[in-house]
Structure 1
């Protein structure tokens, strides 16, 4: 049965249209289950009726004509209950309904399974038998499996517009809007036309072949290396106007990979053994890609994508494929199975408005580049039929990680208004740069920024940041091919500290693991988010930790604006070990004759155990900082990079709000300031609640700072506390969001709230 299932799935996926796929389903399932009838009913959203759309066994002339509501017939019962129905005596069931024209009066046995995609019922798959037959569990499981496969086919058809409203023949059809969930890559919204970029060549299809003339193959491959090096440089130069030098570092990595001592050397060695250039290239690239992908963490997967992209470009030259002349539309939304930074340079300046990638995460190189260039981006879009959307109108919602294809006019108009509002807001918020964040009743709320690259400094200063609440020290580590030396780290940290002096800069010690990994320090785990990450890694490797702390201390000499933050502390014992090593490093620096004072030390509260030990931890340090992203993830047991459960990740969940109150109260009870960083701190409406809770500072991405400042300058602390009390009474995060946004709109403050949050699909 498994081989039959695979064969059917392959045929369905290869079908040229939805109707062809439905016909294959009913024919193959009928044969595989040795039944007399197999039929597919699809739910027409316009009429809310299940319409017969394909059958093998009933009268084919009734296709598109027979329909029933969710309250009618056995099909309606399967759809409304959202579970299979297995009947040996169907005609005796009270919900049985006979349709004369179908010719089904003599079919007694009935087995139906709902077709569901992400909780939305799309239709019902049915098999029937004339004689009384008891379908067994295997039959039921097979039909449920086919229903799941059919759901994906239907959703793809919706996305491409190939599915039409299920109206009677002769009525005008319309395209159906489809909605897909991914991971936010870069904030903002975009409405535009999809442009599909496929890989220039397929490495996997290259066969092994002996070289006729080894010297000729070597010459050809060297020419390919030179061509691709030049092409990568051209793309880097083209993007230079939009990126700062630090953000172009990835192109230097590309050039290193293409050097004679890296990929080039390995390929040439295989050519010299007798393999033709294309086969040698395929072998080397596949080995590198497999090695990276087997490590099973996000950053290394992105490096695999880089190698694969370069391999495709080299292969395209070797195959003497020339790029086709491509017409880039205005308002171009670039779509690919796996976008690479180099692909961004293909689009003429001023035309690129959005990005959609089927693969990749919010930490991918493309996402980093997109944020730097201000391009709304959605990564890791589940079930998105990327190969069939070329030329179709798309909406990219980079705030929530959502993509709409063939949007309705209502949704389209709402997102166009969002785009216009954002442009107007950006102009108005520039005037706030030099103003402090003070509420109408005089409460002062310091707004800090999260940084990692040097380019973040300029953006933070442009937006009036009052310091750095979180410097991600792992970013410089991720941009190198080895651990940076103490001197290299010191110079990097000095640039950050000096740029903000005398304002405080909070530097988090190395936080790798989970979705952040180093290519030269692989961490392979089945469950990386609950594994070896953060302080657990550096405590196991004190040589790494001590070097980093010494570099931070030396970088702060004469500036005295350093604050050190420890990530992923789960208990007192880890904090004690960390403090011991920090004091050891401080002593070593002092022994070198460097005069400095011990900087403030803080703990990140991002593990649930730390919430319930907050007072014990606070007594041992100088300040606390909540990592809202990880704390939300761990409290709700939701992987925030997994689009299939993205809707469960919500920072207004009652459990998280109560945990935040516990942290603030515990820290203040010990006389220690408590800050918060992450997505929640950068959300304007959530920032109102955080201020009311008593947080002493908020740290966010620089792009969000002006909106947060504008809103907090309009809301008094007393009013914020009233809104917090109302929010805490809710037991459902969606209700909490709705009521909070409504309250702010009633105060005349709705224009600053994330506009996309108010859109109704």
Structure 2
């Protein structure tokens, strides 16, 4: 069964478009299950009906002609029930509906299974037989398993086919994702793909065919020469079989038929990288679909060879690539380093196939004030390089080739955004306090020097979280102690005399350094944050020395430790920091020992919060990771993004307990997660007693305006009300209703939705 499933899925993956995918499915399923009929019905997005799109066994003329609404006929019943229907005599079922155009009157046995993708019934896979019999459990299980495996493939093929039409007709279309950073961006897609990955080469055309052919031949020659050189160097260390592999590589590159296939596609104006990737992937899939294990294993060799040539093609192209004035970065999984490569004045928006509103790149996008959407899972991103698009960071919508009317509507929203920002400009000079005088310290989260000016313009009272990993992420090696000192000095000087809280290096999880790879099955529960730096004291000591050197003469530095799960980590880190401090005093630096704080993100720390508060100078809650760990939800996983909720009752109760316990020890408590930058969340945190709220600079004026519009007593009543609730959605609605009741609708709702 597994072997048959694998072979069908692999064959489907070789198909170039949706009709080919469906043809393979009906033909192969009919063969494997030895049935007389196999058919696929797919949902028509406009009508909501399910249409016969492919069949092997029914009359071909019926394809595209049979339409069934949900609940109509046996196929419609599979849709509404969202489970298989297995019938011995289909014609005897009350929902049976006969379509003369199909010629199905000869068939009695019926088995239909739903094809479900992201909770939506995408289609129905049906097999039929002449004799009256129920399909057995094994047959039903096979079809259910195959339907589940094919759902994503069909969805992707549908989307790719739709965009192929769009490319020709410049037709407006829409994809849905997760709203990750508010705002609207109207610009042009710039596709980011992993280097030398055949599967993610964007669809692109070339302007000069002769130049593209020359580029391809040059890349082939370079790869051939590279393989020869490597083979010669390793000649003495390889056995005969291993040496033969290098000969096989060169033989493939010398194979004229391979080059001809690629050149033919370039002649049709396809870019050299795309043409090469298409041809090599077709060869890879042919090998993967072979029954002989020896030939299947050769698929990896073909893929490796393809990647080598592709690397040479990319090398040349990257040097010539330029960013448009209104760049919207689009990719499968974007990183902070990729964002930093684009000149800031040209980057206006972000769209990612993977990730959620709480993934690291989404947080960076919010900090940079970039509209962003994550988790656009059905987007065939490699086919849309250079197209016009709109990113709606309020609703999570991505529009490809927006028409004149849609563009006009979004232009109006952008203008509303500017007006709203101007209406809040006066907030910068006003104190962050409630209407009855309760003072709150509003800080910013930063990671780039570009954040500084915007933060100061918006009235930030310091930095609650400086992400020191960002300079590490933007390099191809560890920055030296002096390089770090210069970076930290810029931040400390820019905000002096206001405090700057610097978090020690926090890598691992979704923040990987290319030059210090951490490969783990479960990275969020693995080697990350303080665990890495305590295992590498040379990295930790260099960093805290650089921080303290940078604070010379300013003394506005605060050091914060990430991912603390117990007292031992705090004490070990303190000992190292004190050692670095003594060394610097001996070197002649007249500096003060900076306050040392704990970033509370791990649930175990909640149960040791009293002891941690006794030993630390301050506590700052990292509510993003704390929420992730409390709810057991990977915040980068768009499949479970709907479960992650910062207003979950368990999260709010934990936050209340932390604030109460820390204050009982006379220690200052703050929060630097995304919840602090949400106006409703900020009110609840103030009611809990949090002294410092740290957020991205974009949200600071909104939060300040919200605080100044309420009395402390009102926030406490709101908190008491929501702490009695047991549903995150109910809490969200209650907080939203409160904000509207006090007249903050215009400030808090996205433009265009009032």
Q: Per the shorter chain, which TM-score range?
A: 0.7 to 0.9
Structure 1 residues 464-473 or 749-758, which shifts more?
Answer: 749-758
CA distance in 1, matches of 2:80, 2:200: 46
Are 1:686 and 2:687 counterparts?
A: no
Q: 1:46 to 1:621 in 2, by over 3 A?
A: same
Instruction: Give the drift of 1:35.
Output: 0.9
Which one of 412, 421, 427 corresponds to residue 416 of structure 2?
421
Distance in 2 separating the partners of 1:687 and 1:438: 12
Residue 449 of structure 1, CA deviation: 0.9
1:111 maps to 111
Check if 1:542 corresponds to 2:524: no
How far 1:42 sits from its partner (Å)?
2.9
Change (3 A) 1:28 1:187: same
User: Could you tell me how far apart the structure 2 residues matched to 1:469 and 1:349 are?
Assistant: 23
SS of 2:627's equivalent in the other structure is helix
**Match for residue 631 of structure 1?**
626
Match of 1:151 in 2: 151
1:65-80 paired onto structure 2 within 5 Å = 65-80=65-80
- The 3-state SS of whatever aligns with 2:35 is coil
Show CA shifts across 1:9-62 (max 9, x none).
Answer: 456456565445434433332233221122222344555543434333334454
SS in 2 for 1:123: strand
Residues 118, 756 of structure 1: alpha-carbon distance in 2 compared, 3 angstrom cutoff: farther
**Alignment partner of 1:312 is 2:291:** no
Shift of residue 470 of structure 1?
0.9
Partners of 1:557 and 1:202 lie apart in 2 by 47
- Out of 416, 437, 442, the residue aligned to residue 437 of structure 2 is 442
SS in 1 for 2:41: strand
Q: 1:666 aligns with which of 661, 665, 686?
A: 661
Q: 1:370 to 1:653 in 2, by over 3 A?
A: closer
Write the mapping of 1:181-192 to structure 2, written as runs, cut at 5 A.
181=177, 184=180, 187-191=182-186
Q: CA deviation at 1:599?
A: 2.5
* Alpha-carbon distance in 2 for matches of 1:519, 1:392: 30
Shift of 1:677: 0.5
Taking the aligned partners of 1:598 and 1:348, their CA distance within structure 2 comes to 38
Candidates 518, 525, 538, aligned match of 1:523: 518
Give the whole-Å Cα distance in 1 for the aligned partners of 2:604 and 2:58: 61
Task: Quote the offset at 1:698 in angstroms.
Answer: 0.7
Return the alpha-carbon distance in structure 1 between the equivalents of residues 582 and 661 of structure 2.
Answer: 31
* Structure-2 change in CA distance of 1:492 and 1:345 (3 Å): closer
Name the CA shift for 1:128/1:391 in 2 (closer, same or farther; >3 Å): farther
- Alpha-carbon spacing, 1:754–1:677, altered in 2? closer, same or farther (3 Å): farther
1:179 aligned residue:
175
1:86–1:691 CA distance, 2 compared to 1 (3 A): same
CA distance in 2, matches of 1:339, 1:539: 28
Within the candidate set 726, 735, 739, 1:740 is matched to 735
Three-state SS of the structure 2 residue aligned to 1:687 is helix
Judged with a 3 Å threshold, the aligned counterparts in structure 2 of structure 1 residues 267 and 16 are, in CA distance, closer, same or farther, namely closer
Aligned partners of 1:638 and 1:648 also within 8 Å: yes
Whole-angstrom CA distance in 1 between matches of 2:653 and 2:340: 46
Cα deviations by residue, 1:640-666 (Å, 9 ceiling, x for unpaired): 222222222221112111111111111
How far apart in 1 are the matches of 2:331 and 2:162?
20
Structure-1 separation of matches of 2:200 and 2:683: 55
SS in 2 for 1:647: coil
Pairing 1:642-657 to 2, within 5 Å after superposition = 642-657=637-652
Q: Name stretches of at least 5 consecutive residues in structure 2 with no aligned partner.
A: 165-169, 202-213, 234-245, 255-272, 278-306
Residue by residue, what CA displacement relative to the aligned partner does 1:345-366 show, whole Å, maximum 9, x if unpaired? 9999998754435478999999
Note the alpha carbon deviations across 1:619-651, whole angstroms, 9 max, x for none.
111211000111111111122222222222221
Question: How many angstroms apart in 2 are the aligned matches of 1:309 and 1:704?
Answer: 43
Say whether the 8 Å CA contact 2:413–2:752 is kept in structure 1: no
Give the corresponding residue for 1:472: 467
Matched, 1:713 2:708: yes
Aligned to 2:27: 27
Alpha carbons of structure 1 residues 483 and 334: separation in structure 2 relative to 1, 3 Å: closer
- Distance in 2 (CA, whole Å) between partners of 1:195 and 1:490 is 34
Q: Offset at 1:111? A: 1.3
CA deviation after TM superposition for structure 1 residue 618, in Å = 0.9
**Aligned residue runs from structure 1 range 287-436, under 5 A:** 311-316=312-317, 333=328, 335=330, 353-358=348-353, 374-378=369-373, 381-389=376-384, 394-398=389-393, 403-404=398-399, 418-436=413-431
Partner of 1:39: 39
Describe the superposition over 1:663-694 as per-residue Cα deviations: whole angstroms up to 9, x where unpaired. 11111121212100022212223222222222
Secondary structure of 1:710's counterpart equals helix
Query: 514, 518, 522: which one pairs with 2:509?
Result: 514
Are 1:571 and 2:572 matched, yes or no?
Answer: no
Distance in 1 separating the partners of 2:83 and 2:350: 37
Farther-moved stretch of structure 1 (650-659 vs 712-721):
712-721
Match of 1:696 among 688, 691, 707: 691
Equivalents in 1 of 2:573, 2:193: separation in Å?
48
* Alpha-carbon spacing, 1:414–1:511, altered in 2? closer, same or farther (3 Å): same
Q: Note the alpha carbon deviations across 1:692-751, whole angstroms, 9 max, x for none.
A: 222111111222222222222223323323333343344332343334223323433122
> Is the alpha carbon distance of 1:612 and 1:407 closer, same or farther for their aligned partners in structure 2, counting shifts above 3 Å?
farther
Q: Indicate conservation of the 8 Å contact 2:21/2:154, yes or no.
A: no
Using the size of structure 2 for normalisation, the TM-score is: 0.75
Provide Cα deviations, 1:96-152, integer angstroms capped at 9, x if missing partner. 444455443442222111111101112211111111344344433432344345533
Shift in CA distance, 406/734, structure 1 to aligned 2, threshold 3 Å = farther
> How many residues of Structure 1 are paired with residues of Structure 2 in the alignment?
667
Aligned residues of 2:353 and 2:374 also touching (Cα < 8 A)? yes
Q: Please say if residues 535 and 567 of structure 1, whose CA atoms lie closer than 8 Å, have aligned partners that are also in contact.
A: yes
C-alpha distance in 2 between matches for 1:316 and 1:696: 51
Q: Is the 8 A contact 1:161 1:406 kept in 2?
A: no
CA distance in 1, matches of 2:24, 2:614: 68
Contact 1:201–1:316 under 8 Å retained in 2: no
How far did 1:601 drift?
1.8
Secondary structure of 2:104's aligned partner: coil
Q: Is the 1:108–1:128 contact (alpha carbons within 8 Å) kept by the matching residues of 2?
A: yes
Matches within 5 A, 1:574-585: 574-585=569-580
Shift of 1:609: 0.8
Residue 537 of structure 1: CA displacement?
2.0
**Alpha-carbon contact 2:196-2:311 (below 8 Å) kept:** no
Residues 517 and 392 of structure 1, relative CA distance in 2, 3 Å threshold: closer
TM-score after normalising by structure 1: 0.74
Kindly state the Cα deviation for residue 157 of structure 1 after the two structures are TM-superposed. 6.0
Q: Closer, same or farther in 2 for the Cα pair 1:528/1:338, shift >3 Å? A: closer
Change (3 A) 1:471 1:78: same
Distance change in 2, residues 1:196/1:660 (3 Å):
closer
2:621 aligned counterpart, secondary structure? strand
Q: Is the 8 A contact 1:111 1:128 kept in 2?
A: yes
